[in-house]
Amino acid sequence: MPMALKADVSRACRKAGMAKPVDLVHLSTLTMGDRDLEQQVLSIFLSQSEIYVKSWKQAQNPDTRMRAAHSLKGASRGIGAWELAELAQEAEMPGFSDIEAIESEVARVNDYIRSLTRQ
């Protein structure tokens, strides 16, 4: 039997309603378990994610929107915010207009991050 890929596990968790907005195992792997670094990365994401959304909304042309969405996608993948990364990937496409979905998922991810730092 083939091994499940991380993406398969993530999809199954989302489908079952068990997925967290941020994959902390992924983040820990990237930071080699350094908790201080994890906090720094999450803190940077909090501010940058809002900047990317604002940039997307204020963009005057499709290229600027695509770059903002691309940056949000990369940042989301970096912390393991898979659902947000998928939405941001959709937002890279011409004609995407569901910024409310992006804003909602950014808020969900950022609320989750803030809940981690309050502990």
Whether the predicted pLDDT of 1 surpasses 50: no
What does the pLDDT average to over 96-118?
93
Domain that holds residue 95: 20-117
pTM for the model stands at 0.85
Q: Give residue-wise pLDDT tens across range 69-83.
A: 999 999 999 999 999
Residue 56, domain member (yes or no): yes
Residue 100, domain member (yes or no): yes
Question: What b/e readout covers 51-64, taking b as 16+ CB neighbours within 10 angstroms?
Answer: ebbebbeeeeeeee
Question: For the chain, how many structural domains are there in total?
Answer: 1
Strands (DSSP E) found in the chain: none
Q: Give residue-wise pLDDT tens across range 87-101.
A: 999 999 999 999 999
Average pLDDT of the chain, as a whole number: 89
Residue 61 DSSP symbol: S
Residue 84, domain member (yes or no): yes
